Chain A
């Protein structure tokens, strides 16, 4: 092709416009909300409840990595603090631990690595160490602070309330520009009724490009809800009922036992 001044004048705007168009497309995509769907949206807790299967689905851009983070409401917990006095260990005082969510589950599309900057990890609290930076231990104990934090984490992990996995999110590319992701996990049966937050983070070029959060409610329905309502709103009736039920259960079983084994009075 022979380059003439006229052709050059036509090409220059095109060459200038292409990156701008690509950039604006990218900005449009970045400004779009991250589509996320959590199924079920509400977990109903009935009498024989034993947890639930939760699925988080959505769309991200090609090449993006995904982190799904489930957080429970912040909660202060009180523990007995063990100390050594001479040769023995005793509970000596209380420790209040606050600033942490009651539930924390993290699933990722790729094994943990250097694909997310430490700044992003810290600002969005996406790993253990950044989450633990927000712990408040009262009263503070600099000498044992590290151990207390580690023990707390271990305890929560043992209860199934804290989980940091190196997987759990599957990404399937389609259509050239988009990819779908799916995270399916078992909802911990120990997580009590409350409103939880399912956060999804799209990671591009080492930082969080977009994120979205969806509430996930765990609510009691039916018999458990009625019992809880009675226990909290009509406590005197509930208390009397509890004693009555217990006494009747005791005497009832005794009555059944006498029917089964017969009535015997023993003089001693």
Chain B
């Protein structure tokens, strides 16, 4: 059964869209990742224009993350205080990341740098996470001493504005989550993928937040970030396809519920092993794609024009939107 997408301007199989949404939603609920790294390429593969795929994907992530947040909130996995701090830090870092990428592009060879950063960050974080989690799994329990370098922990403890985060069962300076998330935001702005892959391990290993709470809290900040992106994309570029987003959301909200419930039966280390494996898989796929000769010299650009833009011309996107749409597009360099 086909359904016509009014903004994308094409007809797509209904079950294909719901299935794609369900897969991404499951990962979102299970691992606390936004899923943009996976969803946008899938949508582009099935024929959705890149601009619509990225913008509608962010709308879908709002649905999936709100479903996931609600489920995790009830399970006691959302630290609101930590989430708000991370949100502000992430937005600040993202803006810096966008500026940095502009400078890199002006200097030339930015794409090469992006490609290598992508592989190093995803491969490095994924590899370290996998090794640490496997070690913890063998020991039988997650031991705090295995998480985070001692020097860094001491440094974080000496920072001012120390605040207790009861839900996360940690005490940190407000500056610690803010600047950590800011640093992740810069990376997100540069490599153009959603920050879940990096944020969750950072929260676990550096801020010593329990993995389940890290997943729920990260979803909380993703919810607000993507809501902002969706609104900006809809008002400036007119590229949010509500029909597409609703269909993806129908799949993803159910997937997120299943993911959140499955996460209840998994230990923190097991969740991290899955996340690490996924990060390594994406990094590996990236390595293969850049070393093998492509079948075509052309690939769809994220800002490719639509017919409809003759009626609704695209306008430059505000800074935040540009960064966040890039982060949702999952566009590989």
Q: Pick the contact of B304 from A73, A78, A250, A257 — CB < 8 Å?
A: A78
Q: Is the interface of B mostly helix, strand, loop or mixed?
A: helix
Check B227 for interface membership: any CB of A closer than 8 A. yes
> Are B242 and A245 in contact (CB-based, < 8 A)?
yes
> Are B62 and A268 in contact (CB-based, < 8 A)?
no
User: Which residues from B are CB-within-8-Å of A254?
Assistant: 66-67, 70-71, 253, 257
Bitwise interface map of A from 145 to 177 toward B, beta carbon under 8 Å scored 1, else 0: 001100110110001000000000000000000
User: Which residues from B are CB-within-8-Å of A89?
Assistant: 289-294
Q: How far is the CA of A243 from the CA of B6 in the complex (A)?
A: 17
Q: Pick the contact of A246 from B212, B230, B243, B333 — CB < 8 Å?
A: B230
- Binding stretch for chain A, among B87-95, B145-153, B295-303: B295-303
Q: Which A residue sits closest to B304, measured CB to CB?
A: A78
> Are B3 and A48 in contact (CB-based, < 8 A)?
yes
Q: How far is the CA of A229 from the CA of B233 in the complex (A)?
A: 16
User: Which residues from A are CB-within-8-Å of B232?
Assistant: 239
Check B250 for interface membership: any CB of A closer than 8 A. yes
> Are A253 and B67 in contact (CB-based, < 8 A)?
yes
Quick one: which of A223-257 are within 8 Å of B by CB? 223-225, 227-228, 231-232, 235-236, 238-243, 245-247, 249-255, 257
Chain B residues bordering chain A, tally (CB within 8 A):
79
> Are A239 and B6 in contact (CB-based, < 8 A)?
no
A158 CB to closest chain B CB (Å) equals 10
- Binding stretch for chain A, among B31-39, B200-208, B307-315: B307-315
> Are A155 and B298 in contact (CB-based, < 8 A)?
yes
> Are B213 and A268 in contact (CB-based, < 8 A)?
yes
Q: How far is the CA of A239 from the CA of B241 in the complex (A)?
A: 10
Chain A residues bordering chain B, tally (CB within 8 A):
74
Check B63 for interface membership: any CB of A closer than 8 A. yes
- Binding stretch for chain B, among A4-12, A79-87, A105-113: A79-87
Check B143 for interface membership: any CB of A closer than 8 A. no
- Binding stretch for chain B, among A32-40, A127-135, A188-196, A197-205: A188-196
Beyond known contacts A223-B6, A257-B257: 19 more, CB 8 A cutoff = A49-B11, A73-B307, A78-B301, A82-B297, A95-B298, A152-B298, A192-B9, A231-B312, A232-B308, A232-B312, A238-B240, A245-B245, A247-B62, A249-B63, A251-B70, A254-B70, A261-B261, A266-B75, A267-B76
Closest 3 CB pairs of A and B: A250-B66, A192-B9, A239-B234
